[in-house]
A = this chain, B = another copy of it.
Amino acid sequence: MIIVMQPGVAEADLAEAVRHVESLGMKPHVLYGVERTVIAAVGPERDGLKESLEAAPGVAQVLPILAPYKIASREVKKDTSVITAGSLSVGGTKLGVIAGPCSVENEDQIMKAAHGVKAAGATALRGGAFKPRTSPYSFQGLKEEGLKLLAKAREATGLAIVTEVLATEDVGLVADYADVLQIGARNMQNYRLLEAVGKTNRAVLLKRGPSATMEEFLLAAEYVLSGGNSQVMLCERGIRTFESHTRFTLPLATVPYLQTKTHLPIVVDPSHGTGHTYMVPSMTLASIAAGCDGLILEVHHDPAHAASDGYQTLSLTQFADVMQRGRKVAEAVGKTM
């Protein structure tokens, strides 16, 4: 950790900062520069250290050197983790493809989706039973009935089920039905929920919050991992920026970045990441080329009449077409799909 002192810092403040560093078990090296004095503190960087040093008198800036996440770090595990949950496998050379409707609406709809996406090559079925909705007046999902329909679809197709869990009190119930527990973007920093899924034996798909930094994203994963659950997939689904021609901005550089920082596999969501059906195919191909380990896509047999998210949902025909084109791109980058 590097502690930069203010210009013309008082000797007493400098001495106090040095004592502070020592009291925290780090070894301080004071470097008197021409214009600034700097303390290089060598040793383990404990959480909260940056914060407490920043509040000390005479300190201008504190620059940590080590990443605050541990279990998620690629420094502790060199190879990408392969997460397997039923028919879904993410992290190997074959991409995992999670597809299905935004919301489970009824048996006919989810069965059509399940059979359709399976035929086109999907390896898991998505579908929301508990829906987080911006407005309290919107459709909130079928809840347990929706979970039962998802289980039926799994029985019929063999596809693993990926579905969102919204609250700690539902974790047990959702885990009874689902193969993968999805933590939505709005809940990325709902730490109790992260702790709760960290105590299950279900794989977790953790979506990035729309204004989360990479460090916050990896620390959210660390909440799950430190609870004992190592089956975490990270999902980039777009960030909030000034751009208004897309619903969110999909930053694919997340893929190469995370590959250097963490061993957790990376899934991309081009549906939420763009918010427009017509953009989904090209951004799906781009995600594959960028090197993602998996995809999650909204697919419905009749998007114009979907209960939610129709404007960013692929029809079964469109999905089949994207899969076919995606396979070629996957091969071009040494993978299969």
Which residues of A are interface residues toward B (Cβ below 8 A)? 2, 4, 7, 29, 31-36, 38, 40, 42-44, 47-48, 51-52, 54-57, 61, 63, 65-66, 68-70, 75, 132-139, 166-169, 186-187, 189-192, 195, 209-211, 213-216, 219, 222-223, 226, 239-246, 249-253, 255-257, 260, 273-274, 277-279, 282-283, 285-291, 303-311, 313, 325, 328-329, 331-333
Contact = CB atoms under 8 A, between A and B. Distances in A.
B240 A242 contact: yes
15 contacts: A34-B42, A35-B66, A55-B277, A55-B305, A55-B310, A63-B63, A68-B137, A134-B215, A167-B168, A169-B192, A213-B245, A246-B253, A249-B249, A251-B251, A325-B332
A65 B40 CA distance: 13
Contact of A332 (B273, B287, B310, B331): B331
Nearest to A281: B256
Contacts of A34: 42-44
A47 B209 CA distance: 24
B241 A253 contact: no
Contacts of A134: 189, 215-216, 219
Contacts of A239: 241-243, 249
A69 B332 CA distance: 38
Contact of A36 (B66, B250, B313): B66
A85 B311 CA distance: 40
Nearest to A251: B249
A257 B7 CA distance: 16
Contacts of A251: 241, 243, 246, 249-251
A96 to B, nearest CB: 18
Nearest to A45: B35
Nearest to A137: B47
B38 A31 contact: no
Contact of A51 (B215, B309, B333): B309
Contacts of A57: 304
A37 to B, nearest CB: 10
Contact of A65 (B36, B55, B56, B257): B36
B138 A47 contact: yes
A66 B290 CA distance: 35
Contact of A132 (B51, B191, B333): B191
Given A33-B42, A65-B36, A256 B278 contact: yes
A13 B333 CA distance: 31
A249 B245 contact: no
Contacts of A187: 189-190
A256 B242 contact: no
A103 B294 CA distance: 39
Nearest to A55: B310
Contact of A308 (B51, B186, B307, B331): B51
Contacts of A306: 52, 55
A211 B240 contact: yes
Given A222-B135, A310-B51, A274 B253 contact: yes
Contacts of A43: 33-34
Given A47-B138, A191-B133, A253 B226 contact: no
